[in-house]
Amino acid sequence: MSAGYTPAADARTAASLLLLRDGAGGLEVLMLRRAERDGDLRSGAVVFPGGVLDVRDRAAHAHCLGSDDAAMSARLGLAAGGLDYAVAAVRETFEEVGLLLVDGSADAAALRDWRPRLQAGHAGIAEMCQALGLRLDLRGLAYLSHWLTPPGLPKRFDTRFFAVAAPPGQVAQADMGEALELMWLTPAQALDPARALKLLPVTRRTLQDLALHASAAAALQAIAAAREVPLTMPRRGLGARGPRVVLPDEWAWAEIGRLDPEGRGDVWAEMRHGVPVRLSPRVIRVTAPNPGVMTGPGTNSYLVGSGEPGAAWTAIDPGPADAGHVQALMAAAPGPIERILVTHTHRDHSPAAALLAAATGAPVQGRRPAHAPGQDETFAPARELAHGERIVLGAGATLRVVHTPGHASNHLCFLLDEEKLLFTGDHVMQGSTVVINPPDGDMAAYLHSLHALQGEDLDWLAPGHGFLVAQPQRVLRGLVAHRLAREAKVRAALAAGAAPLAQLVPRAYDDVPAERHGIAARSLLAHLLKLQAEGAARLEGETWHGA
């Protein structure tokens, strides 16, 4: 990591240490139950040893073995002071559970005398090392993760997590102040709902990661091998059961950050059907009540306009033919709806256009598909849109039409220039890849469209299913890489022997559950047709052959 990170100004810097060993059931980690304290969100939680840094930790640099401040700072992405975190992790572990990472042995009775002095803040760990002739042994310490608690909390912590093999010959003992109970647990045991442990989000995720390793040595080797350790900052959101923490790999995380950077905690982390979400002064989203395997949480309809009082609005993808959804969309519009745009004519996106047009008098605009079977037969645009044309919605609001064939021959995306926000329809979905279903779906065209979008200046994606998506170019590159990786598996499946389509599916999609092989077969056919056009595959009867 580069040495450019500055700890959050409103957070206390802290460090935590995972002590690992091998038990009868495999990898075990030492955990402690925190004391119960009123007003403390971590009260009674089962956590790893750790706590906040002490200014006196820096004085212990001279007593460290295995790293210096420059090396540890570089590893932690800091300009300086990285060794303070390692020292704090070792010190807090000694204070809370009585285990101390030292080179050689130390007098147990002397350590018992120093432990309460450190806990009370009457002395620093450097004084203890000096008095007892100890060196803190950091040679086996592995840097695991970096977590920053969400904005908006009354107490925030900027915490570095380390892992190490438990020191042999020492017995853990709770201090009965911070730690009321100690337990050596396998990750599976700690995560077992029957045990009903109160686990913080960082603890739960760390245990899930540890569960991938069979032994302490394997876990430490994998942790040490990680080249970069990114910052993980959850956010606060609302769920059906009330406020909750949203992790960065959850769909709502980026959108919550856009709508609530201060951490008020009033943005929903779940899709709610028919409830308008104001994404910006120019954009409102209303999600249709049609969740499913192909539609995810439901089809998103968007209202886009200048946001000026009394101004007209444009609807994008009115959704399925659901009268209730059309009413919700109309109710969400702050002004009259003056036009209806459609990204493509699959039945979860365009059929409501006719209903909305009848109710508002707004014209429908889009493109007809090259292959109509299986699509919305009611679609009758008043005008077909051309690639590159601009639609002025009002002062400071312009949509540019981008033809993106692939998922469908008539697929369009709409770029809101002022926000660098691309309404993607089904060209880019959140959390999954789209099905390319020939003959209207075309894999070569889809890849070409993805490459073309990489030339656009984009900040956000507004998909037809899911929340707003950040880092568009990273997402687009990932989709291209995924499709090409799948194509490589298709080539390998053909190389293993000629076979009909149905027999190639489990070869090329062996990482996809069998119950989804029917859907996968559609995209497989699209890959095969692309390879056939390139001379890399051929079809004889019903059997596909490699080149």
Query: Among the residues of 293-442, which ranges form H helices?
Result: 323-332, 352-360
Token pair for residue 54? 């002490």
Catalytic residue among 322, 348, 376, 426: 348
Q: What is the DSSP string of 114-162?
A: HHHHHHTTSS-HHHHHHHHT--EE-TT-EEEEEEEPPTT-SSEEEEEEE
Write out the H or E segment, with its range, that includes residue 446: helix 443-453
Comparing CA positions, the residue from 72, 74, 69, 47 lying closest to residue 58 is 69
Nearest to 30 by CA among 21, 40, 39: 21
Q: Where is 286: in which H helix or E strand?
A: strand 283-287
CA 132 to chain centroid, in Å, comes to 47
Whether the CB-CB separation of 416 and 452 falls below 8 Å is answered with no
In the residue annotation, 426 being an active-site residue is answered as no
Report helix, strand or coil for 457: coil
Closest CA to 347 of 265, 395, 408, 399: 408
**In angstroms, rounded to a whole number, what is the distance separating the alpha carbons of residues 508 and 53?**
51
3-state secondary structure of 503: helix
The whole-angstrom separation of Cα 269 and Cα 236 is: 9
Structure tokens at 74: 């570089």
Catalytic residue set? 348
